Structure 1
Amino acid sequence: MLAPLLKYFIEVARQGSIRQAAEALHIAPSAINRHILEFEESLGIELFERLPRGMRLTAAGEVLYEVARRMQRDYTVALSEVDLLQQARRGHVSIGTLQALSEHFFPPLISGLIKEYPGITYSFFVGNTRDIIARVKSGDSDIGICGAPEKGERIKQVASVRLPFGVLMPRDHPLAGYPVIRLSDCKGYPLIYTTRGELRTLLDRMNIDGAERVSPALETNSVAMIRELVAAGAGIGFVSSGIMGHLAQGELLFRPLILQGRVSTDLTLIIREERKLSVAASLLLERIEAAFPRFEETLQRVTAP
């Protein structure tokens, strides 16, 4: 606890009276008076003016009072943080995430947290944006990372990063020399589509509205499978994420894709609007939010032409 001398001093200064301070602290007035006198003697200066109706701080007392109040606030904050750390030693967090982040974003992040807080456990649901939002709304997932929710959803968007649209191809593909790809450039090559998501919606819309139609040779809801199919030479894949590791290793090539004037989509960190997160979940949320800028920088670096 805060040193008794400072505690008595703060209370007398606040109350302006030894008697009232004694009542607030449930201590005999004579004991408080003795401690204040000893405090002044040890400092070699008077902290209070003794008035007929109470105590008033001297100029030196005012200075010490401000310092003591700051110390008291800092002490309270420190106790609160220690309590939170104790709570964070135990707990469980459920996360809903897109497959893209399950491979390169979360493993190092969670690995560090497990070493730091071994008492916290985690469960992951890997799915599409619609299912992740539904799980966050129902409370099945504490935290979600997915596409941007529709307006009107009772969802709080904590942070977001931009995911570039792109075409994934072998490094020796004929389109490898293009700095930017348009859908019309891809005609004549086997195309691999994702079955869901904003990128697929835009591709389908362009097939309806555009003059030239292109159709996928392969469809899958797995970004990992798109990646492996491209690596095996089955075609070129339309992706917005999930290929960082292979790009960083130089196995595949990513070229930006322009669809109806758009070059990217939002990846959003979400929680339920009115939900109060546990200490463990709040800790993970903070770590994810802090990691987002680095993640976006890495994406920009490995997907640059």
Structure 2
Amino acid sequence: MNITLRQLRAFVAVARTGSFTLAAESLFVTQSALSGLIKELEQSLGVRLFDRSTRRIQLSEVGGAIYPLIDKTLLDLDGVIDEVTHLKALKKGLVRIAAPQLMACTLLPEVIARYRGEYPDVEIHLVDCAVESVVSRVFSGEVDLGVGPERDPNSDIDAETLFTLPFHAVLPPDHALAAQPQVRWAELVDHPLITLKGEFIQRLSGDLREAFRDLDLTPTTTVTFMSTALSMVEAGLGITVCIPYAASLVRRYGFAMRPVVEPTVTRNFYVFTRSGRSLSPAAERFRDFLRQHVAEHEDYSV
């Protein structure tokens, strides 16, 4: 049995109008083509769908029984096609992003605002979370994509480089080191240093030990969030280091930022997605916006 959508639509059109002429006009086909479609459908089903006379046409008993089912099927199919059309045109949709707290209050709001300006009907959910849980949220399917720093490779996760930036010192504008265009790591250890805890300081200390065996980067204080570190700098409790993507937050405090050199230590940041899983049109477009924003913004070209 080989039944086509064109045959089913022809059947419904004739059943609704009670006329081959009107049905053919509604489908933009000739009357002979419409009659051919109905004949093919009847042959495939092995039953008559319409009782015809010289004066009128009406549904047969079988045709009357199956008409509501076919009509609903076509309406449901049209609804599916409309849904896909709206999703492709970004007239609706949902994008779910996971990002560390610092990135969620600097980079992501700027990108989300730009995206919503062009696609106001797409819903966006931003999950601000601990940096260690970004990849796991992508893996679990809780979010479509994650944005964050490099982590151990995972065969179930695709990692696309978003940007690579060096560490900068963050200090009050009247601090002695702020008068320099650059700051050496060896100079930082002579001042109270506030850093993020966990993998942040562990990776940084490891990188510096490779360059200087005798350089001991022991923070005075470690905290969970950069906003806490900045507030402590503001209170005169020390200085901190960060990646320049946080510059918009640092500027709100009026602090100076200076590249830290000898050695220059960089961090890679990625867009994480689930391997083998395609993104929705809305999520794919959001990733494009993210790439474009980074490419155009001076904070990511340091």
CA distance in 2, matches of 1:158, 1:207: 28
Other-structure match for 1:235: 238
Other-structure match for 1:39: none
**Residue type at the aligned position of 1:252:** F
**Residue type at the aligned position of 1:165:** F
TM-score (norm 2): 0.64
- 1:1-305 equivalences under 5 Å are 83=85, 88-198=90-200, 200-203=202-205, 206=208, 210-241=213-244, 243-248=246-251, 251-258=254-261, 261-295=263-297, 297-300=298-301
Listed one character per residue, the Cα deviations across residues 281-305 of structure 1 (whole Å, up to 9, x for unaligned) are: 122122112212123x33446xxxx
Report the CA distance shift for 1:176/1:100 in structure 2 as closer, same or farther (over 3 A). Answer: same
CA shift, 1:85, in A, is 5.6
CA distance in 2, matches of 1:212, 1:286: 41
CA distance in 2, matches of 1:130, 1:115: 31
Superposed CA RMSD in Å reads 3.3
> Percent identity, aligned pairs only?
22
Other-structure match for 1:63: none
SS of residue in 1 equivalent to 2:232: helix
Report if the CA contact (8 A) 1:223-1:242 is conserved: no
CA distance in 1, matches of 2:300, 2:288: 20
Could you tell me which runs of 5 or more consecutive residues in structure 1 were left unpaired when the two chains were aligned: 1-25, 29-78
Report if the CA contact (8 A) 2:163-2:300 is conserved: no
SS of residue in 1 equivalent to 2:105: helix
CA shift, 1:96, in A, is 0.7
Report if the CA contact (8 A) 2:245-2:299 is conserved: no
Report if the CA contact (8 A) 1:193-1:219 is conserved: yes
CA shift, 1:204, in A, is 5.5
- Give the number of aligned pairs: 226
CA shift, 1:205, in A, is 6.1
Report the CA distance shift for 1:98/1:134 in structure 2 as closer, same or farther (over 3 A). Answer: same
Report the CA distance shift for 1:158/1:174 in structure 2 as closer, same or farther (over 3 A). Answer: same
Report if the CA contact (8 A) 2:192-2:219 is conserved: yes
Structure 1 range deviating more: 262-271 or 111-120: 111-120
CA distance in 1, matches of 2:301, 2:193: 24
Report if the CA contact (8 A) 1:95-1:143 is conserved: yes
CA distance in 1, matches of 2:101, 2:241: 15
